[in-house]
Amino acid sequence: MPPKSATTPKPLVAGNWKMNGSRASLQEITLMGLGYDADLRRNVDLLVCPPTPLLYPAATAALGTAIAIGAQDSHEKISGAHTGDVSPNLVLDTGATMVILGHSERRTDHGEKDSLIEQKAGSAIATGLVAIVCVGETRAEREAGRALAVVRRQLRGSIPRTATAAQLVIAYEPVWAIGTGLTPTANDVAEVHLAIRTDLKKLLGKQQGEMVRILYGGSVKPNNAKELLSIDNVNGALVGGASLKAADFMAIAETYR
């Protein structure tokens, strides 16, 4: 599935290792690199986001493969007295180029709110990182018919208005689909992604809004990637569990060959 046209964003398949992996897992990046040949590189960008202590060795393992490395969070301040936190400057210094922000696990585990995520995205972008801002409704919100309203509110509250399409990626991740094996219907994904696209054009201007990549995330696996990734306004995937093994991750990326 080659890119649809020069006026649609280049797809991105991003792996979120969460709090998994060790130095031994870095061999998976080497294996991913072996499968990421020139044809695939033309059609899709690849990103792996390991836990923070693995950022530098992962960036080293990825040298020469064209696989980008990203962090799973960065602080809203550039530096300072914030024990245990990681500045966007340091993320960049490791060789990483992107950062996931506002993942539902951070929103839940750390009480992160839209306004904080917007600040983090602003600092990450000012530092030179690409911010991947996550949005998505809970099961209760979907069942109450509030999925679109929730996602649109999160989007409005979490993205810096001055961001360009090169600096920002949105990941739509229904919370109830993460790590559960459940996925929304293709119609539901299409509806949310269209709403995100429409709002991005209003918030960032038509030209930038059209070119921001909107990833789908939530139980993307080799066996459902083709269906999910061919939906309109789905410009790639944010992959959790299936990004830990090169074979699974590359099988998803192969959708774009």
Write out the catalytic residue numbers.
103, 173
Does residue 240 touch ligand PEP according to CB under 6 A?
yes
Does residue 184 touch ligand PEP according to CB under 6 A?
no
Listed ranges 185-193, 200-208, 225-233, 234-242: which one lies at the site for ligand PEP (CB under 6 A): 234-242
Does residue 239 touch ligand PEP according to CB under 6 A?
yes
Cβ nearer to ligand PEP, comparing 181 with 205: 181
Cβ nearer to ligand PEP, comparing 33 with 241: 241
Number of residues that bind ligand PEP (CB under 6 A): 14
Q: How far is the CB of 19 from ligand PEP (least distance, A)?
A: 11
Torsion sign over Cα 37, 40, 41, 47: negative
Does residue 215 touch ligand PEP according to CB under 6 A?
no
Q: How far is the CB of 14 from ligand PEP (least distance, A)?
A: 9
Does residue 255 touch ligand PEP according to CB under 6 A?
no
Does residue 241 touch ligand PEP according to CB under 6 A?
yes
Question: Helix or strand or coil: residue 58?
Answer: helix
* Residue that has been written with the tokens 């917007």 in this structure: 118
Side chain identity, residue 131: A
Residues 39-78 that bind ligand PEP (CB under 6 A): none
Does residue 236 touch ligand PEP according to CB under 6 A?
no
Listed ranges 4-12, 33-41, 113-121, 214-222: which one lies at the site for ligand PEP (CB under 6 A): 214-222
Does residue 179 touch ligand PEP according to CB under 6 A?
yes
Overall size of the chain counted in residues: 257
Find all residues with CB under 8 Å of 217, minimum gap 6, and list them: 16, 134, 136, 171, 172, 173, 177, 178, 237, 238, 239, 240
The closest residue (CB) to ligand PEP is: 240
* Residue that has been written with the tokens 């904080």 in this structure: 116
Which residues sit opposite 169 in a β-bridge? Answer: 132, 213
Q: How far is the CB of 100 from ligand PEP (least distance, A)?
A: 8
Using CA atoms, how far residue 191 sits from 109, 152, 181, 241, in Å, is 28, 12, 21, 25
| φ and ψ of 15, to 5 deg | -105, 130
Using CA atoms, how far residue 160 sits from 75, 99, 117, 204, 250, in Å, is 15, 15, 9, 9, 32
Q: Which of 125, 163, 178, 212 binds ligand PEP (CB under 6 A)?
A: 178
- The answer to whether the CB of 14 falls within 8 A of the CB of 44 is no
Q: Which residues form the interface with ligand PEP (CB under 6 A)?
A: 16, 18, 173, 178-179, 217-220, 238-242
